[in-house]
């Protein structure tokens, strides 16, 4: 041990534990240091005292009491506040982590435990070939959601399917390839093998997965058994759904700072429901993982859908499984398909949408819709009585009159749809084609119901309403595509015209219980489920593998609850708990007991938001002197703060921008100050 005389009277002893990579045990070392010694000097003296010749470049000091890394090696111990009572750990920054993908497959790979989670996710996605990493994050599953039955408390009942990627250069501090955010640098998949084309393989050259079969993560694995599905956690209420989203990690802090240990398992999930620049030509893995996340959300009833929609989703799953087992690959080039299908395969699921590339397609004379529709205004304790009026849709507003002859006079009412909620209310089998408009007002929401006569009329009006809610008119180039997508979805919902053409359920090798939630296996017999799935399958049996996945994602997006993440909060001045729903463009206050929306606030009307870290309260100011404040009960307020900032950050993306990700802006909008 070095004497105190060598370092002066102000020196003191510092205990450092060394976590040896190969010896499998920790050893303690006592160093004599002074407060003006920089962290790099401490590490140098420690290595000299260890006297083991090895590569120490990935090692760093971790301060256990403060739960923080000492990564600024030029800082002195005094500047960090390290004193004699500090316990430091000299350990590797990169360690093995188990990542559960949306497909329920586990990937075991080396990640940085000292970098912020945002960088970790970027590197994980780089190694897995997933573009647009800013849309994903890591989720720690809540203990409440791990098991619903006492006999299997210890682990989630999913068969482990582990893909080991022990050496991940992307996680070793190397810069991410610019191709991660560049369409031109992304892989083009081979139509025969499903792997990246040789001309673009260099994009993955530093990734361990490139040496294995890239198709592994882009293809579908056999579905789980009905027994396994029945054992998995299913939320029954909106409060249960709030538990699912409580465990998002803080993107501005490291894994170690959040208590994540080596070999821990985390869920990699699409956190933000704004899927930008989704392209079948470049995103086979991304689309497959997105499909899998949507599939499990349907099966476990994390999102509500009608019985009719359930069997459409089941038929799509069955078709995808059938094509996957037959070895079908579908990486259709855009030159081989017509204009409408090209638009579908390049599905822009930006929701708000970036700037369109084809400005000249927009016409200067804004079109209008005029038709007889039925209207009903929702009021408590009244029967649902629809009355027919003459409706005119122009710009982003809809006006209605007593009849067509009264059109040139004053309307009975003019509804501005910009910023309102549009909810489909459709039953194809019951020939009901309804549109529910939730129009925000000062004291809550006005609910207006429109009823159309047929599919064609519904598609035109629904598309117009949807665009108007985003501030777009029917002159926008996406209007025709929106109408086409709605009609395609309605066609999937329609019952087959020739039931006799459906295959005999008994002769079909299908386990229908694998394609629907356990609730339906209790309601129907296996033969009945098979018949319903095969009937729905007739309408989509012609689709290719990739197109079917995109149709599944599109149908998922059309559900009223799509994109809503729930948290239990207590609003300032309220005596009871409420639910806060966070979407890509709005916040919704929801009644916990009934599930009804109370008030909606749009991000576009937000002036500022901040967090009082002392009382853990989020405060938001909107236009027209509207302000709200709430405390979070089901999670830390930082999670909600990051969600709001994250959606605002993602709304700044546009195709005409340089596609390099602005990480500094992300942290400014989501980081906060504690």
Residue with tokens 């985390």: 266
Q: Which residue has the higher pLDDT, 639 or 281?
A: 639
CB neighbours of residue 333 within 10 Å: 12
- pLDDT tier for residue 110 given thresholds of 50, 70 and 90: very high
Q: Identify which of 489, 525, 485 has the alpha carbon closest to the alpha carbon of residue 309.
A: 489
DSSP class of residue 223 equals: P
Pairing state of beta strands 421-427 and 26-33?
unpaired
* pLDDT per position as a tens digit, 415-471: 999 878 888 888 888 889 999 998 877 666 788 999 999 999 999 999 999 999 888
Can you name the residues that pair with 371 across neighbouring β-strands? 391
The residue ranges of DSSP E strands in 299-443, in sequence order, are 368-377, 387-394, 397-401, 413-416, 421-427, 432-441
pLDDT over 60 (residue 177): no
What is the Cα–Cα distance from 182 to 21, expressed in whole angstroms?
A: 37
Q: Which residue has the higher pLDDT, 183 or 112?
A: 112
- At residue 470, the pLDDT reads 83
Q: Identify which of 574, 227, 598, 585 has the alpha carbon closest to the alpha carbon of residue 419.
A: 585
- pLDDT tier for residue 165 given thresholds of 50, 70 and 90: confident
pLDDT over 80 (residue 335): no
pTM, two decimals, is 0.83
Mean pLDDT of 475-481: 88
Which sign does the torsion angle of CA 612, 616, 618, 619 carry? negative
Find the range with the poorest average confidence among 38-42, 142-146, 345-349: 345-349
pLDDT over 80 (residue 501): no
Q: Report percent pLDDT > 70 for the chain.
A: 77
């Amino acid at each position: 041990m070095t004497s105190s005389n060598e370092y002066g009277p102000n020196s003191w002893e510092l205990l450092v534990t060394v976590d040896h990579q190969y010896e499998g045990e920790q050893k303690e070392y006592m160093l004599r240091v002074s407060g003006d010694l920089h962290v790099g000097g401490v590490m140098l003296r420690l290595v000299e005292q260890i006297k083991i010749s090895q590569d120490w470049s990935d090692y760093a000091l971790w301060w256990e009491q403060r739960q923080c890394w000492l990564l600024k090696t030029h800082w002195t111990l005094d500047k960090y506040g390290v004193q004699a009572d500090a316990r430091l750990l000299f350990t590797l920054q990169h360690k093995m982590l188990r990542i559960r993908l949306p497909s329920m497959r586990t990937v075991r790979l080396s990640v940085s435990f000292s970098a912020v989670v945002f960088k970790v996710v970027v590197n994980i996605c780089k190694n897995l070939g997933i573009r647009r990493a800013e849309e994903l994050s890591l989720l720690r599953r809540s203990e409440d959601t791990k098991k619903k039955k006492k006999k299997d408390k210890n682990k989630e009942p999913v068969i482990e399917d582990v893909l080991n990627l022990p050496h991940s250069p992307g996680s070793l501090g190397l810069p991410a390839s610019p191709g991660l955010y560049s369409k031109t640098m992304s892989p083009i998949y081979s139509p025969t093998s499903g792997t990246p084309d040789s001309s673009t393989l260099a994009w993955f050259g530093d990734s361990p997965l490139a040496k294995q079969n890239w198709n592994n993560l882009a293809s579908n694995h056999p579905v789980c058994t009905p027994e396994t599905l029945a054992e998995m956690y299913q939320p029954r209420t909106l409060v249960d759904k709030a538990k699912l989203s409580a465990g998002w990690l803080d993107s501005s802090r490291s894994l170690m700072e959040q208590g994540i240990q080596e070999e821990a398992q985390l869920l990699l999930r699409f956190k933000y429901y704004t899927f930008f620049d989704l392209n079948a030509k470049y995103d086979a893995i991304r689309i497959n993982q997105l499909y899998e996340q949507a599939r499990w959300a349907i099966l476990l009833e994390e999102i509500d859908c009608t019985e009719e929609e359930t069997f459409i989703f089941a038929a799509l799953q069955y078709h995808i499984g059938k094509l996957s087992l037959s070895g079908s690959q579908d990486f259709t080039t855009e030159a081989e398909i017509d204009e409408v299908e090209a638009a579908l395969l390049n599905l822009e699921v930006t929701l708000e949408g970036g700037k369109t590339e084809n400005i000249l397609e927009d016409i200067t004379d804004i079109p209008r819709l005029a038709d007889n529709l039925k209207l009903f205004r929702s009021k408590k304790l009244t029967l649902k009585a629809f009355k027919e009026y003459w409706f005119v849709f122009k710009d982003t507003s809809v006006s209605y009159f007593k009849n067509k002859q009264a059109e040139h006079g004053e309307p009975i009412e003019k509804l501005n749809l910009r910023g309102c909620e549009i909810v489909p209310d459709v039953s194809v089998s019951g020939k009901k084609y309804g549109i529910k408009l939730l129009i925000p007002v000062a004291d809550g929401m006005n609910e207006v119901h429109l009823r159309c006569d047929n599919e064609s009329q519904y598609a035109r009006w629904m598309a117009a309403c949807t665009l108007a809610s985003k501030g777009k008119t029917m002159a926008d180039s996406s209007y025709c595509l929106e109408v086409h997508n709605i009609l395609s979805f309605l066609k999937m919902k329609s019952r087959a015209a020739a039931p006799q053409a459906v295959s005999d359920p008994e002769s079909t090798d299908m386990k229908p219980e694998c394609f629907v939630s356990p609730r339906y296996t209790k309601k129907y017999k296996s033969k009945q489920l098979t018949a319903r799935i095969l009937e729905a399958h007739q309408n989509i049996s012609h689709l290719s593998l990739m197109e079917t996945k995109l149709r599944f994602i599109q149908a998922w997006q059309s559900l009223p609850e799509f994109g809503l993440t729930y948290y239990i909060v207590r609003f300032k001045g309220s005596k009871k708990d409420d639910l806060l729903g966070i979407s890509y463009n709005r916040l919704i206050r929801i009644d916990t007991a009934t599930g009804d929306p109370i008030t909606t606030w749009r991000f576009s009307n937000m002036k500022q938001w901040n967090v009082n870290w002392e009382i853990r309260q989020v405060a938001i100011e909107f236009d027209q002197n509207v302000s709200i404040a709430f405390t979070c009960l089901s999670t830390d307020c930082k999670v909600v703060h990051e969600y709001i900032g994250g959606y605002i950050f993602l709304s700044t993306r546009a195709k005409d921008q340089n596609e390099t990700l602005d990480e500094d802006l992300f942290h400014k909008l989501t980081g906060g100050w504690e």
